[in-house]
Amino acid sequence: MAVKKQPDSNASELTETANDWFRQFLKHLEIHMVETGESLGANSDSFDHRLAAMRAVMMTLIDSGTNQEELRKIFGLVAFENAGMSPPLEWNREQNKRRFELIDREIQGTLSPVEQFELASLTQRMREHVDSEANLSFEGARKLHQLLTDMDSESVESKP
């Protein structure tokens, strides 16, 4: 079966670097799709097809240099965005408390896969918040450090 090449109608809108990266990604994705598709049985259903496709995406991202922590962060962010849970612009006490709870569960080895994504998302939100304050003076950075430390101590004090 001959495969018809798709037109490059929107290629001019991408930077050359992005265009090259996406094209290379798609080539590798196709290879991984074939590999994961070969494992599907005659009785496979649409869920099996979607799972194979996600495995192919994951393998392709790993091939592109993405590590396991970045994978969890990426998949977590996308999952939360699609669930209408896009990161709020401001980091707050509840998010900080929840992140510490999840870190505790991770240390205890009781963190579920869904919670791993949530932790990755919260960590990314926290980092974005801290990075957004990069233009603060040294005094401002000290105040930010104190604020985050106070949030942590309040969450520890609230534990039974």
From the CB of residue 29, how many other CB atoms can be counted at a distance below 10 Å?
A: 19
Domain ranges of the chain: 18-37+46-66, 93-157
The answer to pTM > 0.85 is no
Cα 80 from Cα 125, distance rounded (Å): 12
Q: Maximum Cα–Cα distance for the chain, whole Å?
A: 66
Tens digit of each residue's pLDDT (9 = 90 or more) over 78-94: 776 666 555 555 778 88
- Express each pLDDT in 12-55 by its tens digit: 578 888 888 889 999 999 999 999 888 888 898 888 888 888 88
CA distances from 70 to 91, 123, 124, 137 (A): 21, 11, 10, 30
Give the closest residue to 123 by CA, choosing from 96, 89, 83, 144. 96
What are 133-160's pLDDT values in tens digits?
A: 554 667 777 787 888 888 876 665 555 5
